[in-house]
Amino acid sequence: MKQYKKDFIELLVKAQALKFGEFTLKSGRKAPYFLNVGSFYTGELISELARAYAQAFIDSGVEAEVIFGPAYKGIPLSVVTTAVLHSEFKKEVSFTFNRKEMKDHGEGKLLVGAPLGAETKVLLIDDVITAGTAIRETLELLKTNGNPKVLGVLIAMNRMEKNNEGKNALEEIEKLGVKVFSIVTLDEVIESLYGKEVNGQVYIDEAMMEKIKIYRAEFGI
């Protein structure tokens, strides 16, 4: 595992973005872990988060011109990642994001940022994919707003789960012609945290590992 992945996993627990316990997901599933990038709300934390996204972007090899951030969580992710790509990796990439509602004044556009056209190469950015509903909605939105070439989607963590139809969630997204990249996978998180002390705490002990195994037996891939 690359060092930036290990650092990112430690960052997740440090920021309390990755928590272990019992959580009800939007899909209705009760999961023993939960990831919320909304916990990265300080300058230091959001900068470190953006650095991890930027490194994963470079590693993906995707030659995207624009990083698109779906509202709402994708908005700050798209902005800070493009900034870090420029400042630390000397790579020039633009950002675009959408509003939830069309403005009825000013420029009156649904999208904010770099203009999108049929030849624009775009990478979506988000936190996680569970059922894939949000990504499908974003793809439909883009078809009627410039119809750019969506090369992939970059997420923080691959939960390695089935969707609500019992199929591999990420494989179903990739069937739409959109490659999915992640900074880390659940397997890598377990490898880094299981039975190991981080910041003076063992986040995945034997009891938690058992809960994760039970959950993955039902929903994992």
Which residues form the catalytic set?
103, 105
Which residue has 């609500």 as its token pair?
164
Q: Is 101 helix (H, G, I), strand (E, B) or coil?
A: coil
Which residues are paired to 67 by β-bridges? 95, 123
Strand stretches in 72-139, DSSP E: 94-98, 111-113, 121-125
Spatial CA neighbour of 183 closest among 66, 48, 92: 48
Which residue has 């190469």 as its token pair?
121
Determine the Cα–Cα distance for residues 133 and 153; give it in Å rounded to an integer: 13
Which residue has 């999208």 as its token pair?
111
